């Protein structure tokens, strides 16, 4: 019997690559996205390569959409073995410029969306007494950068949520793991929303800081880790008999994590400021 996998946020990037890879490795795969029209390329790949890859609508911010999608999958398969919570976005801005509504919007997708989908599939996995939940976090869920407090705090929350439910679900045979990529080649950064009071406005008191950070990130974006390689790590975790709790993905993420372990809080903060404001980067 094929294992059934659901992946959120599959219109591009990590979700897109993971859905193809899992289907190629024998999973009955459901690639979900808010707008299924963006899944036409996936449908073509599935047809051309005879993959068990299905594109369905699922908006992680909409309870009705989630229930409909999960019900459709259960009617077809009667089980769910793997959930990859990948859907996410980024709203950038200083805390002063970001509105409470923008913070809420960020958390609705990155945290509450993940929780909604998880809660919907848990009774199914618990009844099966087996399953795996893969939460795509970020190295930014373990360290902070300026002018990104909404995104950073949402990912810190994903980390804490994942750690907590690991204890709750272990007795039911449900595994929970975290994927923590660094900068990934995708349209994620192109799709980053700026706060309504844009940092790019020269009149913003945070404009000069923003410019330094954007300049520092440019070479990191040019050398970003391919989304295909993140998908390969997700597959490795899913098929492992004894998966790790966390998988740190990318040279930049590994360098940050290794440095964080060695340093005090103040030392690490100074290292981050060096990397961002003095353009020394995080891979040394």
Q: What amino acid positions are annotated as catalytic residues?
A: 151
What size, in residues, is the chain? 284
Instruction: Measure Cα distances from 185 to 52, 249, 250 in Å.
Output: 26, 12, 11
Instruction: Measure Cα distances from 46 to 36, 40, 191, 216 in Å.
Output: 14, 10, 26, 39
The residues that bridge with 185 in the sheet, in sequence order, are 226
What is 16-43 written as a DSSP string?
HHHHHHHHHTT-EEEEEES-GGGGHHHH
Please give the radius of gyration of the chain, using alpha carbons only, rounded to the nearest integer.
19
Cα 23-69-12 angle, rounded to 5 deg: 50
Q: Which distant-in-sequence residues (6+ apart) come within 8 Å of 127 by Cβ?
A: none
What is 194-224 written as a DSSP string?
EPSS-TTSTTSTTHHHHHHHHHHHHHHHHTP
């Amino acid at each position: 019997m094929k294992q059934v996998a659901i992946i959120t946020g599959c219109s591009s990037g990590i979700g897109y690559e993971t859905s193809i890879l899992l289907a190629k490795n024998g999973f009955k795969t459901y690639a979900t996205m808010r707008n299924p029209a963006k899944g036409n390329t996936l449908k073509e790949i599935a047809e051309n390569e005879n993959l068990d890859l299905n594109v369905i609508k699922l908006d992680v911010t909409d309870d009705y959409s989630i229930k409909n999608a999960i019900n459709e999958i259960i009617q077809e398969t009667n089980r769910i073995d793997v959930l990859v919570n990948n859907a996410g976005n980024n709203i950038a801005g200083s805390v002063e410029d970001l509105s409470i509504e923008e913070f809420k919007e960020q958390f609705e997708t990155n945290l509450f969306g993940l929780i909604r989908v998880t809660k919907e599939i848990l009774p199914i996995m618990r009844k099966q007494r087996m399953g795996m939940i893969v939460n795509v976090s970020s190295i930014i869920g373990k360290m902070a950068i300026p002018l990104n407090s909404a995104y950073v705090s949402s990912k810190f929350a994903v980390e804490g949520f994942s750690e907590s439910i690991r204890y709750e679900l272990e007795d039911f045979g449900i595994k929970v793991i975290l994927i923590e990529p660094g900068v990934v080649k995708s349209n994620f950064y192109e799709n980053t929303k700026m706060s309504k009071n844009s940092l790019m406005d020269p009149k913003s008191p945070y404009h000069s800081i923003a410019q330094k950070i954007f300049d520092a990130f440019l070479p990191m974006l040019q050398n970003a880790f391919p989304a295909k390689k993140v998908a390969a790590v997700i597959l490795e975790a899913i098929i492992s008999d004894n998966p790790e709790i966390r998988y740190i993905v990318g040279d930049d993420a590994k360098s940050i994590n290794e440095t964080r372990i060695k340093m005090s809080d103040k030392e690490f903060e100074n290292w981050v400021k060096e990397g961002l404001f003095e353009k020394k980067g995080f891979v040394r």
